[in-house]
Chain A
Amino acid sequence: MNADPADAAPFHWTAEHEEFRGVVRKLIEARAPLACAPSPQSQDPRERELWRTWTDELGLPGMVIPEEHGGSGFSRLELAIAAEELGRAVVGGPLFASAVLATEALLAAGGDVAAEVLPALAEGTKVAALAVTEGTRRWQPDDVATTASGSTRLTGTKESVLSAAGAGLLVVAAREDAGVSLFLAEPGDGVEVTPLEVLDASRPMARITLRDAPARRLSEAGQGWAAVERALQAGTVFLAAEQVGGSRALLDAAVGHAKTRVQFGQPIGRFQGVKHRLADMAARTELASAAAAWAAWQRPGSDAAGLGAAIAGAYCSEAYLETALDAIQVHGGMAITWEHHAHRFLRRARADAAVLRAPREHRRQLESIIGTGA
């Protein structure tokens, strides 16, 4: 597979890419129940077994980690292929928080401390969480109030941290005189993790209360936010692919239903009221999939990568939500029951559109680009 997506023009997938997609899809179809949460600490043995599939068979946790740190040195593009397939089955667990958000932040921060922990993340023997947001739950540097005293002790409250419970490593944004820095902390003395009630149970969140918690600084003082932005960009690209996978699965199921469900003596998919809704779902999904893939093909850190991630973050999030709502309409009465798959997708679609930057926050970011010729 291609280690640097920018080496080729977008959308020129290789045979290796297609093969990888096929392998991931087959494994998920065979082994991953809808909305499962594969994790090394799960109570459910099937979910622990699936985590081993991620680590031993697919190498997902170490996918974007360079080989010198124990990973396989692929790019966001390859991980996006997996994300789309995972999204089809609303698969959750700590993979996103650990292998994307925390890992990308550690890679962007660099330094000895990151180098020390990356091999364990690549192996999947440990998982990490990225603790940035606080009371506003917005990804903004000014909203970071957690303090680092003497650069070794953290105090503050991190809100809505994805996959924090069970994480062996915490990448924490905290404020110093020089600005926001990233620190590495571990569960233990001075660290309290309180699970929250969540919309999407497959991706739990928690509050982390830090009281003089011991930590090590990851990069130069005041340089942490650039690493957070890098993680946000990678996370947005991953989620966009996941949103496309979810949208496609919903579209496929709704089309299947419309072909077989008979009312008024004919399959409901013949009625334009249903057919045209499905056509709109397909159109939205087509654009979302192009935007997600275009973003994944750009060289990380480039202007095009920033544009691509923001476009995908805005478009794919809303497309998935609308498609999840439309899918319920097509499936009718069954889709408003707990047993039906529709609400798993609806929950994930809502969560995906809020867990990093919201669509309108992406649009606000794009305001600085529009009309400048980019």
Chain B
Amino acid sequence: MPIDLSAVAAAGDLDALATRVRGWLDEHLPAPWRQAALGGDQQALDRILADQVMARAWYAELGESGLATPGWPAEYGGLGLAADAAAVITDELTRLRADRPADEFIGLALAGPTIIEWGSGEQKERFLRPLALGQHRWCQLFSEPGAGSDLASLRTRAVKDGDHWVVNGQKVWSSYSDRADFGLLMARTDPSQPKHRGISYFLLDMHAPGVEVRPLRQLNGHSEFGEVFFTDVVVPDADRLGPEGLGWSVAISTLMQERSGLSGRPGVGPGQADALAARARRTGAWDDPVLRDRIMQAFVTERALQMATVRAFATLGKAEPGAEGSIRKLTHAQLEVTLGLLATEAEPGDAIAWDPPDEDAAAAVDAFLSGKILSIAGGTSEIQRNIIGERVLGLPRDRDPYANTPFEERPND
């Protein structure tokens, strides 16, 4: 049953909305879950999240309520709210650690909005409601070994054969590809066109014959992303998203959503610096005024970033995010590095050797090792600076000598 927000949403009062959603969550979220989240009991929370019965039941109820996809139209399982109201809801869910799991980010934050913007009626019917209900997981099939920052130079080929396409090629750095049901695929459909113009965008069934996923292990030891190989994979033309040859434009929608979605908490309140300070207080490292000031610098930047995110969502309404999202993504990436370093500097001894039950130490090491990931994933910081320079400030574009050369006539690199 969708949550009834008619009394608060119409008034545009975000505080009233937050109160209403908080009340609903108090009523519906299982009590042990709420207690573990509010008490910061990570072990209890991990047990709950691993409990398939409780977690699944909750995500299903959350999906039915519309709160997992508040910005989507009501007909597709959303609540039709503007970006700032949707952010208030996300913030309430995050506070209780009750939001959908990280591996659903691509489906909810990237696939959904891109399909809402570009999809046919049939595609919206088929994909959006299951996404809202948490039934499908998605991955992004953009980057390739030879197409990282220069994404438009991708070589995965889709060749038309009657009412379907045959896909061959390879993708890499695809998060959660090992568990995805569908993939957002960019493939070259017309090599006689310059690189940006010969690409089409597909909604690929990851269970189709010829799709092979090989998980990759990241520098932090986790395995979230993978390589994806396509061998004569058949994709119906009905699963093409947006016009043939305009895949780059469709992908820009996805990338803007991604940058905007990678800027941290969309509300002003406790963040990672707060957690760092709390741990430093427990260990006594807080007594060092030099460390304290460095944590406070990160705290100030984190809060300022939150304020910028709140503003972006307040001014966005129901429009799609634009290039300014690169500013927040860039800043967030830099902040992650700083926070990762600080996490291990607070207790330098704990950063190199610790007793296995010491979860604080393990988390600090994980934050340190994971710190640089956001500076690369979702577009490197250099690419974000190019976008800010060129799209936001209007500076002259970087030279690409082959930008207007038919893709097949470019020299082999």
Q: Judge if B120 is at the interface, Cβ distance under 8 Å.
A: no
Check A287–B331 contact: CB distance below 8 A: yes
Among B199-207, B211-219, B254-262, B299-307, the stretch that binds chain A is B299-307
Check A276–B311 contact: CB distance below 8 A: no
Cα separation A307 to B295 with both chains bound (whole Å): 16
Q: Judge if B398 is at the interface, Cβ distance under 8 Å.
A: yes
Check A287–B273 contact: CB distance below 8 A: no
With A287-B308, A367-B292 in contact, do A11 and B389 touch (Cβ < 8 Å)? no
With A272-B386, A363-B297 in contact, do A290 and B308 touch (Cβ < 8 Å)? yes
Cα separation A251 to B389 with both chains bound (whole Å): 11
Shortest C-beta distance, A265 to chain B (Å), equals: 11
Check B396–A266 contact: CB distance below 8 A: yes
Among A137-145, A221-229, A277-285, the stretch that binds chain B is A277-285
Check B389–A287 contact: CB distance below 8 A: no
Q: Judge if A332 is at the interface, Cβ distance under 8 Å.
A: no
Check B393–A367 contact: CB distance below 8 A: no
Residue of A nearest to B397 (CB): A270
1/0 per residue B352-390: CB within 8 Å of A? 000000000000000000000000000000101110111
Check A270–B398 contact: CB distance below 8 A: yes
Shortest C-beta distance, A150 to chain B (Å), equals: 42
250-298 of chain A: CB within 8 A of chain B: 251, 255, 258-259, 266-267, 269-270, 272, 275-276, 278-280, 282-283, 286-288, 290-291, 293-294
189-206 of chain B: CB within 8 A of chain A: none
Q: Which residues of A contact B277 (CB under 8 A)?
A: 370-371
Interface residue from B269, B278, B395 paired with A259 (Cβ < 8 Å): B395
Shortest C-beta distance, A373 to chain B (Å), equals: 6
Q: Which residues of A contact B330 (CB under 8 A)?
A: 279, 283
Interface residue from A267, A307, A362 paired with B396 (Cβ < 8 Å): A267
Shortest C-beta distance, B70 to chain A (Å), equals: 16
Check B395–A255 contact: CB distance below 8 A: yes
Check A288–B393 contact: CB distance below 8 A: no
With A294-B310, A366-B299, A371-B281 in contact, do A275 and B385 touch (Cβ < 8 Å)? yes
Check B392–A282 contact: CB distance below 8 A: yes
Q: Judge if B84 is at the interface, Cβ distance under 8 Å.
A: yes
Residue of A nearest to B329 (CB): A283
Q: Which residues of B contact A373 (CB under 8 A)?
A: 269-270, 274
Shortest C-beta distance, A130 to chain B (Å), equals: 26
Cα separation A259 to B397 with both chains bound (whole Å): 11
Q: Judge if B405 is at the interface, Cβ distance under 8 Å.
A: no
Cα separation A259 to B297 with both chains bound (whole Å): 33
Q: Judge if A238 is at the interface, Cβ distance under 8 Å.
A: no
Q: Judge if B296 is at the interface, Cβ distance under 8 Å.
A: yes
Interface residue from A275, A286, A287, A366 paired with B395 (Cβ < 8 Å): A275
* A-B pairs with lowest CB-CB distance, top 10: A290-B308, A363-B296, A279-B385, A279-B388, A275-B389, A269-B395, A11-B314, A371-B277, A290-B307, A294-B307
Q: A270-B397, A287-B308 are in contact. List 7 more A-B contacts (CB 8 A).
A: A275-B386, A279-B386, A282-B327, A286-B324, A370-B295, A371-B281, A374-B269
Can you sample 27 A-B contacts with CB below 8 Å? Answer: A9-B84, A10-B314, A11-B311, A269-B395, A269-B396, A270-B395, A270-B398, A275-B389, A278-B393, A279-B384, A279-B386, A279-B393, A283-B388, A286-B308, A287-B308, A291-B304, A291-B308, A293-B307, A293-B311, A294-B268, A311-B300, A315-B301, A366-B299, A366-B300, A371-B277, A374-B269, A374-B270
